[in-house]
A and B are shown apart, each in its own frame.
Chain A
Amino acid sequence: MQDRSADGECAVPFTLDLRRSQDPRAPKFLLPSALRMSLTLLSSYPRKADRFDEMLAEDGGVRPSWQGFVAHLEAATTEQMRHRIDYARRRILENGVTYNVYADPKGADRPWELDPLPLILSADEWRQLASAVTQRARLLNAVLGDLYGSQRLLNDGSLPPALVFGHNNYLWPCQGIHPPGGTYLHLYAADLARSPDGQWWVIADRTQAPSGAGYALENRTIVGRVFPEQFRDLHVEHLASFFRDFQDSLASWAAPSSEAPLIVLLTPGPYNETYFEHAYLARYLGFPLVEGHDLTVRGARVFLRTLRGLRRVHAILRRLDDDYCDPLELRSDSALGIPGLLQAVRAGNVLVANALGSGLLESPALPGFLPGACEKLLGETLAMPSVATWWCGERAALEFTIEHLDRLVIKGSYPSQRFDPVFGNELSGGRREQMIERLMARPQAYVAQELVNFSQAPTWSRQHERRLLPRGVGLRVFVAATPSGHVVMPGGLTRVAGASNARVISMQRGGSSKDTWVLTEQAVNTFSLLKQSVGKADLVRGGCNLSSRVVENLYWFGRYSERCDKTSRLLRVALSRLVDGGADTLPALISAVDLAAELRLLPEVEARDADKKVTGGRVRPVADTRLPQATRVLAAICSDEWSAGLAGDIRRLLWVATQVRERFSLDNWHAINYLQRQVKRYGEAVADGAHPELSDALAFLDQVLLTSSSLAGFAMDNMTRDDGWRFLIIGRRIERLIFLAGAITGFLRLESTRASGSLEWLLELTDSIITYRSRYMTQPQLLPTLDLIVFDEGNPHSVAFQVQILVRYLDNQARLLGGPRDETLRLHLGRLHAFDLGRYEGQSFVECRGCDPCRDLAELLDAISTAAASLSDRLAMRYFSHVADVSRQTFAA
Chain B
Amino acid sequence: MKHPAVRYHVLHETRYSYESPVSLSRQLLHLTPRECRWQHCLEHAISVSPEPSVVRERTDCFGNAVRELALEFPHDDLQVHAESTIDVFSRSTEGASSASGTGTHRCAADEPDTCLPVSPAWEAVRDALAYGARPVLLEASRFQFESPHVRVKREFARYARESFDAGRPLFEAVHSLMSRIHEEFSFDPEATTVATPVLEVLAERRGVCQDFAHLMLSCLRSLGLAARYVSGYLLTHPPPGQPRMVGADASHAWVSVYSPSDGEGNWVDFDPTNCLLPDVQHITLAWGRDFADVSPLRGVILGGDTHELEVAVTVTPLADAS
A interface list, Cβ under 8 A from B: 1, 151, 154-158, 160-162, 165-166, 168, 172-173, 175-176, 296-300, 327-329, 331-332, 339-340, 343, 346, 393-394, 416, 441-442, 444, 882, 885-893
Contacts and interface: CB of A to CB of B under 8 A. Distances in A.
B196 to A, nearest CB: 12
B301 A890 contact: yes
B210 interface: yes
Given A161-B138, A298-B72, A888 B210 contact: no
B299 interface: yes
Contacts of A328: 26, 28, 298-300
22 contacts: A161-B145, A165-B141, A165-B145, A166-B146, A172-B61, A172-B293, A173-B61, A299-B54, A340-B26, A340-B300, A394-B132, A416-B146, A882-B23, A886-B302, A887-B301, A890-B299, A890-B301, A892-B295, A892-B309, A893-B194, A893-B250, A893-B295
A393 B133 CA distance: 11
B78 to A, nearest CB: 9
B33 to A, nearest CB: 16
Interface in B134-169: 134-136, 138, 141-142, 144-146, 148, 152, 154, 157
Contact of B26 (A156, A172, A339): A339
9 pairs of A and B residues whose beta carbons are closest in the complex:
A166-B145, A339-B300, A161-B141, A892-B297, A160-B131, A175-B61, A890-B299, A157-B134, A157-B133
Interface of B: 14, 16, 23-24, 26, 28, 53-54, 56, 58, 60-62, 68, 70, 72, 131-136, 138, 141-142, 144-146, 148, 152, 154, 157, 194, 210, 250-251, 253, 289, 291-293, 295-304, 307, 309, 311
A174 to B, nearest CB: 9
Contact of A156 (B135, B146, B157, B194): B135
Contact of A890 (B53, B60, B291, B307): B307
Given A888-B300, A893-B210, A297 B26 contact: yes
Contact of A151 (B14, B53, B138, B144): B138
A173 B142 contact: no
Contacts of A444: 131
Nearest to B25: A890
Given A175-B61, A892-B311, A394 B131 contact: yes
A393 B131 contact: yes
Contact of A332 (B136, B142, B292): B292
Contact of A162 (B131, B291, B296, B299): B131
Nearest to A414: B146
Contacts of B302: 885-888
Given A155-B135, A172-B62, A172-B293, 14 more contacts: A162-B131, A165-B144, A173-B61, A298-B72, A299-B72, A343-B56, A441-B157, A442-B152, A888-B301, A891-B194, A892-B309, A893-B250, A893-B253, A893-B291
A885 B68 contact: no
A166 B136 CA distance: 15
Contacts of B131: 157, 160-162, 393-394, 444
A891 B210 contact: no
B91 to A, nearest CB: 24
A160 B129 CA distance: 11
B138 A176 contact: no
A166 B129 CA distance: 13
A556 B110 CA distance: 73
B146 to A, nearest CB: 6
Nearest to B143: A165
Nearest to B129: A161
B190 to A, nearest CB: 15
B298 A168 contact: no
B142 A165 contact: yes
A155 B154 contact: no
* Chain B interface, DSSP helix/strand/loop, else mixed: mixed
Nearest to A296: B24
Nearest to B70: A340
Contacts of B309: 890, 892
Contacts of A299: 53-54, 70, 72
A161 B311 contact: no
Max chain B C-beta neighbours (<10 A), residue from A157, A175, A416, A882: A157
Nearest to B28: A328
Given A160-B131, A165-B141, A890 B16 contact: yes
Contact of B311 (A154, A156, A393, A893): A893
Contact of A889 (B14, B62, B299): B299
Nearest to B154: A441
A885 B61 contact: no
Nearest to A148: B61
Given A298-B72, A343-B68, A891 B300 contact: no
Nearest to B131: A160
Nearest to B14: A892
A885 to B, nearest CB: 5
A532 B145 CA distance: 50
A889 B70 CA distance: 14
B137 to A, nearest CB: 9
B307 to A, nearest CB: 7
Nearest to A886: B302
A295 B307 CA distance: 25
A885 B132 contact: no
Nearest to B141: A161
B61 A176 contact: yes
B28 A329 contact: yes
Given A328-B28, A893-B295, A168 B146 contact: yes
A893 B251 contact: yes
A166 B135 CA distance: 17
A150 to B, nearest CB: 11
Nearest to A333: B195
A161 B131 CA distance: 8
A891 B298 contact: yes
B146 A890 contact: no
A176 B58 CA distance: 12
Contacts of B299: 328, 889-892
A527 to B, nearest CB: 43
A891 B132 contact: no
Contacts of A886: 302
A332 B298 contact: yes
**B250, B300, B301: most-surrounded residue (chain A CB, <10 A):** B300
Contacts of A157: 131-136
A751 B37 CA distance: 92
B288 to A, nearest CB: 8
A162 B54 CA distance: 37
B223 to A, nearest CB: 11
Contacts of B311: 892-893
B136 A892 contact: no
Contacts of A151: 138
B135 A891 contact: no
Nearest to B299: A890
Contacts of B296: 892-893
A893 B286 CA distance: 12
A477 B194 CA distance: 44
Contact of B300 (A162, A300, A327, A882): A327
Contacts of A416: 146
Contacts of B298: 328, 332, 889-891
A890 B297 contact: yes
A887 B300 contact: yes
Nearest to A393: B131
Contact of B133 (A1, A168, A889, A892): A1
A268 to B, nearest CB: 18
Contacts of B54: 299-300
A1 B299 CA distance: 42
A420 to B, nearest CB: 19
Contacts of B53: 298-299
A890 B135 contact: no
Contacts of A346: 58
